[in-house]
Structure 1
Amino acid sequence: MSDHRILLIENPASLSVDLGRLRIRRDGFDDNFVPPKDIAVLCLHHYTIQISVQALRVLADAGASVLVTDEFHHPCAWLLPQVGNGDLVRRLRQQMALDSSVAKGKLWQAIVQARLSTQAANLRVLNRRGALRLERLAKEVQPADKTKCEGQGAKHYWAYLFDEDFKREKEGAGDAINSRLNFGYAVLRSMVARSLVMAGLNPALGLGHSNMENPFNLADDFIEPYRFVVERHVALGPSGEFDGKARKEILRFVEQEIKLNGAGYRLPAAINESVASFVRVLDGRGEYLQLPQDALLQRNEEYPWE
């Protein structure tokens, strides 16, 4: 299972399998071959792309997820692997037991604290004002976030992260910043959901998110403390038109190194460790979630615009 490769295809192409490899065929170009095990997320970003059922099967067997976008560059469908874990029933029972326990509120408390802490760290790394308020809020979070610190923090954070005229829009956004954020979040969400499924967890049973119509509540929980990676990448990057070049550039957020429990992890490995810590809680082998609490380990020298 790959730890880091995101494959974006946004031109007419035909995808099939040749000798166990994913073959990408485009008119006027030589065929490209990619081992399925090297792919974490395959993003299909053109309406004429053709992919065989065999290719989908091979990708699923390798643990890759497939993300399909619509004409507005928004995700409209996922394919998540269902292999790799034979403990689905036991995990489901554990999640259902957790749903009515006191521990559930404490776990959500930890996630909200991590989200607020990483927001504050982003503001400091980016030389923005407002970090102290978020750091104080992180200390005030109660189990199940009864005082709604997450919502207070979000309102404060977005007021300082970008220009004062910026307004956060989750759906249907046409501006460059929101388009970048939403696209990056979608890929990050797919990575989190993939890690949950591969661990045998049901992504619909969330800790803080509980929308009855959302099949990925748990993914939306665990994406929270990792959103800062996308946000920092967007804040540091170019802000022009959200075209094909920009979509490829935004995917570089996956290369970042995360500080987790005092050690450095590549982003996918950090997500896997956070999910593994949740499994340990379910098994009674741990009490705490391993979550990022501060900014990226260091400023990435690969950013020419910093």
Structure 2
Amino acid sequence: MIKKTLYFGNPAYLKTSNEQLIIELHDSGERRTIPIEDIGLLILDHRQITITQVLLARLLANNTAVITCDEAHHPAGMWFSLDGNTLQSQRFQAQVEATVPLKKQLWQQTVVSKIQNQAALLKQERQESKLLYTYAGEVKSGDSENHEAKAAAYYWKRIFPDFLMFKRDRFGDPPNNLLNYGYAILRAIVARSLTGSGLLPTLGIHHRNQYNSYCLADDIMEPYRPFVDKLVCQIIKGNGKFLEMTPSMKHLLLSIPSMDVTIEGKNSPLMNAVQRTTASLSKCYEGKARKIIYPELI
């Protein structure tokens, strides 16, 4: 069963009783309940939201990712469980002891999958994609020739319409805002799933940054980024240059956990696909598998 994504953009009081999330909306006085076990992602996007410590602890015990947004309504921080799997200590150990050659092979697989999905999206958008497929076939262990960056330079020049004069920059002009929002949701999904698979999101296979708590999440989300890009392409087609975040745009981006992806030849909600990806990664660390299972953009 796919877990629910809950978004709160109005004043609310959130508490818990009997393993239920109890929602009290200030404006309407409405009161609702949702089983905590059904929630995978909870987004808090208003300054007048109050959440109890007991509820927060229950959500984290359920391996729910909780995102808080800043005054610009962009995701600014995240809580996730540190005890999401009964075999966590064993899997942490396998992750810590992973050899350099293994991590280089895993990163090679990740980059190949990302570039292939970028190429597939370019093709869907009727842009030339042959060079990216060539790059994907040339990626070496550890991506020693940095084909990821070469592919990104080609991809970002072509994926959006020319009239946007787009440059990928986290703090740049729209649709960077839409990409940032979608990637933040994706990052939360991946971090949550890594924890559920008994892995430590901090310890990456490629990304290394002492100030980044989610290096492994940033690694594993790479092949999933084009699925977010695909949604942003849809938004651009419907809005042209008018790309400041609206409720309808946000609603579409909040559908990321449930959007259909193809993984091992079968359709699956993205959140479930991520779970299969992180489970396969755990098996790679433990020596039970040699390949990470990633989705294909078709």
TM-score, length-normalised on structure 2?
0.93
Which residues of 2 match residues 285-296 of structure 1 at below 5 A?
A: 285-292=288-295, 294-296=296-298
CA distance in 2, matches of 1:156, 1:38: 41
- The aligned amino acid for 2:20 is R
Q: Distance in 1 between matches of 2:225 and 2:105?
A: 20
1:135 maps to a residue whose letter is: Y
SS at match of 1:17: strand
Partner of 2:266: 263
Please, which of 155, 158, 165 is the counterpart of residue 157 of structure 1?
155
Residue of structure 1 in register with 2:287 after alignment: 284
Equivalent residue of 2:289, what SS?
A: coil
Map 1:140-289 onto structure 2 (within 5 A). Answer: 140-164=138-162, 165-170=165-170, 172-175=171-174, 177-237=175-235, 238-239=238-239, 240=242, 241-289=244-292
Q: Aligned pair 1:109/2:88, yes or no?
A: no
| TM-fit CA distance, 1:247 | 1.3
| 1:134 matched residue in structure 2 | 132
- Specify the alignment match of 2:77 in structure 1: 77
Alpha carbons 2:22, 2:32 under 8 Å: kept: yes
**Is the Cα contact below 8 Å between 1:130 and 1:156 reproduced in 2?**
no
**Post-superposition offset of 1:280:** 1.0
CA contact (8 A) 2:2 2:258 kept: no
Task: State how far apart, in whole Å, the 1-side matches of 2:173 and 2:120 are.
Answer: 28
Cα distance in structure 1, aligned partners of 2:125 and 2:37: 36
- Looking at structure 2, the residues matched to 212 and 54 of structure 1 have their Cα atoms a distance apart, in angstroms, of 31
In angstroms, what is the RMSD of aligned CA positions? 1.5
| Deviation per residue, 1:26-61 (Å, 9 max, x gap) | 122421211111111100011111000111112112
TM superposition shift of 1:80: 0.2
How far residue 250 of structure 1 moved from its aligned partner, in angstroms, is: 1.5
Q: Give the drift of 1:218.
A: 0.4
State the one-letter code of the partner of 1:20.
E
Aligned-residue offset at 1:174: 5.0
1:36-115 to 2 correspondences below 5 Å: 36-98=36-98, 100-115=99-114
Which amino acid counterpart does residue 72 of structure 2 have in structure 1?
Answer: F
Please give the per-residue CA displacement for 1:144-167, whole angstroms capped at 9, x wherever unaligned.
Answer: 000000000111101010023011
SS of 1:40 mapped into structure 2: strand
Q: Which residue of 1 aligns with 2:118?
A: 119
Report matched runs for 1:4-19 at 5 Å: 4-19=3-18
Number of residue pairs the alignment of both structures matches: 290
Q: Quick one: distance in 2 between partners of 1:83 and 1:46?
A: 28
Distance (whole Å) between structure 2 residues aligned to residue 285 and residue 19 of structure 1: 39
Report Cα offsets for 1:135-185 as digits up to 9, x if no partner.
000001000000000000111101010023011122x3452x111111010
Contact 1:203 1:216 in 2 (8 A): yes
- CA distance, structure 2, for counterparts of residue 73 and residue 134 of structure 1: 34
* Cα distance in 1, alignment partners of residues 206 and 100 from structure 2: 13
Q: 1:185 is aligned with what amino acid? A: Y
Q: Distance in 1 between matches of 2:198 and 2:258?
A: 26
* Residue deviations 1:56-96 (CA, integer Å, cap 9, x gap): 11211222110001112222221102233132322222112
Q: Which moved more, 1:75-84 or 1:6-15?
A: 75-84
Structure 2 unaligned residues grouped into runs of 5+: none
Structure 1: segments with no counterpart, 5+ residues: 297-306
After TM superposition, the structure 1 stretch with the greater mean CA deviation from structure 2, 220-229 or 196-205, is 196-205
Cα distance in 2, alignment partners of residues 236 and 174 from structure 1: 18
Could you tell me how far apart the structure 2 residues matched to 1:131 and 1:255 are? 27
